[in-house]
Chains A and B, each alone.
Chain A
Amino acid sequence: DIQMTQSPSSLSASVGDRVTITCRASQSISSYLNWYQQKPGKAPILLIFGASSLQSGVPSRFSGSGSGTDFTLTISSLQPEDFATYYCQRSDNPPLTFGGGTKVEIK
């Protein structure tokens, strides 16, 4: 099965910072990559699908890029409500594996 590896597993950043999270697939998944945000005690929320398409209603400070095996989620200017855990997920073929998550904490 294809493994999804996120890095870093956690990071500390300040409001206004540019934040980049990486997700690597062990084999090519083309552009079938989703990004989710999860806050404690809540269900994940879809941010990005198809590696770079912004889900309706998601602020434009979130962006995604990449294809094949290497993908990036970027938050251009971190806001207080963005402190959360972020997960990537392959969506090409089952199993639809998630990455291990990246926790974004306040510096």
Chain B
Amino acid sequence: QVQLQESGPGLVKPSQTLSLTCTVSGDSISSGSYYWNWIRQPAGKGLEWIGRIYTSGSTNYNPSLRSRVTISVDTSKNQFSLKLSSVTAADTAVYYCARGVFGSGKGDYWGQGTLVTVSS
């Protein structure tokens, strides 16, 4: 059974960089059939797709966040990571990682989510 688990600081100061890691278990992140997503959800609001990475290292980002986002992958640790720079209170949200299936684009496995609060 594939499982994803987000980890990282729950509190980040304004203007600093938010860093999260998603650890994948139950399957190799290097499988060529998948890509790996970050999605976020502010409290009481809808889902926002942040971006994705293929294990080749190729990335796609949401244009609204592109200037501040970096997604990377570490296949040796079966992990992928998110960095969001220059954060403000508007970046406070539950952050999810999720697996996407190449071809269909379905997001079939998700992490439980981790709350990141931006506050001084």
Report A's interface with B, CB cutoff 8 A. Answer: 1, 32, 34, 36, 38, 42-46, 49-50, 53, 55, 87, 89, 91-92, 94-101
A100 to chain B: closest residue by CB: B46
Tell whether A91 pairs with B110 under 8 Å between CB atoms, given A44-B47, A96-B37, A100-B46: no
> Is the pair A55, B46 in contact by a Cβ cutoff of 8 Å?
no
Are B49 and A97 touching (Cβ within 8 A)? Answer: yes
Q: How far is the CA of A49 from the CA of B106 in the complex (A)?
A: 6
By size class, the interface of chain B is 20 to 34
How many interface contacts (CB-CB < 8 Å) are there between A and B?
Answer: 72
**Residues on the B chain within 8 Å of A91, using CB:** 100, 104-107
Find the A residue at minimum CB distance from B110: A43
CB atoms of A89 and B60 under 8 A apart: no
Judged by a CB distance under 8 angstroms, whether B112 is at the interface is yes
Chain A, Cβ-Cβ closest to B62: A95
Contact residues in B for A87 (Cβ distance below 8 Å): 46-47
Given contacts A95-B63, A96-B52, contact A43 B113 (CB under 8 A): yes
Partner of A98, one of B46, B63, B105, B108: B46
B80 near A: Cβ within 8 Å?
no
Q: Check B106 against A50 for contact (C-beta < 8 Å).
A: yes
Contact A98 B48 (CB under 8 A): yes
- B34 on the A face (CB < 8 A): no
Known contacts being A97-B49, A98-B49, A100-B46, is A92 close to B111, with CB within 8 Å? Answer: no
The residue of chain B having its C-beta at the shortest distance from the C-beta of A6 within the complex is B46
Point out the residues of chain B lying under 8 angstroms from A89, CB to CB: 47, 49, 107
0 or 1 for each of B5-46: is its CB under 8 Å from A? (1 = yes): 000000000000000000000000000000001010000001
List residues of chain A with CB within 8 A of the CB of B110: 43-45
Interchain CB contact under 8 A, A55 and B108: yes
Instruction: Tell which of A46, A94, A97 touches B108, judged by Cβ atoms closer than 8 Å.
Output: A46
Report Cα–Cα, A42/B47, bound state, in Å: 12
Q: List 16 A-B contacts (CB under 8 A).
A: A1-B63, A43-B96, A43-B98, A49-B105, A50-B106, A53-B104, A55-B108, A87-B47, A89-B47, A91-B100, A95-B64, A96-B49, A98-B48, A99-B46, A100-B46, A101-B46
